[in-house]
Amino acid sequence: MKFTTGVKSIDSLLSGGIETGVITHVYGAFGTGKSILAQQICVTVLKDSRKNDSVIYMDTEGSFNPKRISKIAFRFGLDYGVLKRILYKRIWSLDEQELFLKLSEDYIYRFNAKLLVIDCIATHIRGEFNQDVLILRQTRLESILNKLLDMCTNYDVAALVTNQLTSGPDSSGEKYVEKPVGGNLIAKFCKCSIRLYRLKEKRYASLDDSIDVDSNFAPFVIKEDGIHDENG
Ligand SMILES: Nc1ncnc2c1ncn2[C@@H]1O[C@H](COP(=O)(O)OP(=O)(O)OP(=O)(O)O)[C@@H](O)[C@H]1O
Ligand SMILES: [Mg+2]
């Protein structure tokens, strides 16, 4: 099943919307709109779910904004009651992130969660491990992704992880490029990877492995009530 994101051009990048049973990855530099998109998708998923369904939101950075969510909810014909259907947890450490992910399995079952968001997946991994313990870092990330994928497949829940950018050598090893934290590992677990970026005052989303560049990018704008199509 697929849920709309509320943005036609982004839905079309995702071939219809955010899919249940798989992990969707949204990454980009600071201020590109990852958290706002994640919060908007909570609303659009709830809009198209039953009244007693919920979503789970793990917030590692304190970006959750109930006021904005209310505004997004009004835009989609819901009211601030939508906030009661978002199981929110501020995550302060990597241990807590792993623990809450385990507990989420029970919440999915008890509260009919349809979506699980981690905004942003690598904050604590980066904060607690530096580059010289890369293997340890990748192992912890892999275990989180494993657990997440296991849960979305078993319960047919959509998972959305946001992620930051880091710089590292390209495949030729000759120049440095910007890529998502945990690059190949994340790609292995996520069905779809979308990059948000800004270019000449405009905002875009694009598919990571897009071959057809013309049709695989989506211009969008951010307003008080969330993310809109550029001409929406
Ligand atoms: N009302 C608004 N109108 C236009 N742009 C806005 C509005 N509110 C927020 N923004 C823009 O949204 C961006 C922040 O979005 P968001 O917090 O989702 O980014 P992010 O990618 O999660 O950033 P970070 O990496 O810091 O977590 C900023 O660029 C900000 O200027
Ligand atoms: Mg954010």
Domain coordinates in residue numbering, the chain: 2-229
Binding site membership of 62 for ligand 1 (Cβ less than 6 Å) = no
Distance 196 CA to ligand 1 centre (A): 11
Place of tokens 């904050």: 123
Residue 123, Cβ neighbours under 10 Å: how many? 21
Binding site membership of 63 for ligand 1 (Cβ less than 6 Å) = yes
Phi-psi region of 113 (alpha: psi -120 to 50; beta: other; left: phi over 0): beta
pLDDT at residue 172 in the model? 80
114-to-50, 54, 181 alpha-carbon distances in Å: 10, 6, 26
Residue with the smallest CA separation from ligand 1 atom 23 is 31
Would you tell me which CATH number, out of the four given (3.40.50.300, 3.40.640.10, 3.30.360.10, 3.40.630.30), belongs to the domain 2-229?
3.40.50.300
Distance CA 72, CA 79 (A): 9
Binding site membership of 35 for ligand 1 (Cβ less than 6 Å) = yes
Binding site membership of 127 for ligand 1 (Cβ less than 6 Å) = no
Mean pLDDT (the chain, rounded): 93
Buried (b) or exposed (e) across 71-103, using 16+ Cβ within 10 A?
bbbebbebeeebbebbbebebeebeebbebbee
Distance CA 125, CA 122 (A): 5
136-to-35, 100, 125, 140, 225 alpha-carbon distances in Å: 27, 20, 10, 6, 40
pLDDT at residue 159 in the model? 98
* pLDDT, tens only, 171-230: 788 888 888 988 889 989 999 999 999 999 999 999 976 555 556 789 999 999 999 999
pLDDT at residue 145 in the model? 98
Pairing of strands 226-229, 158-163: unpaired
List the structure tokens of 114: 């349809």
Share of the chain above pLDDT 70, in %: 97
pLDDT at residue 211 in the model? 52
Q: Which of 30, 36, 69 to mutate to test the pocket of ligand 1 (most atoms within 8 A of CB)?
A: 36
Distance 34 CA to ligand 1 centre (A): 8
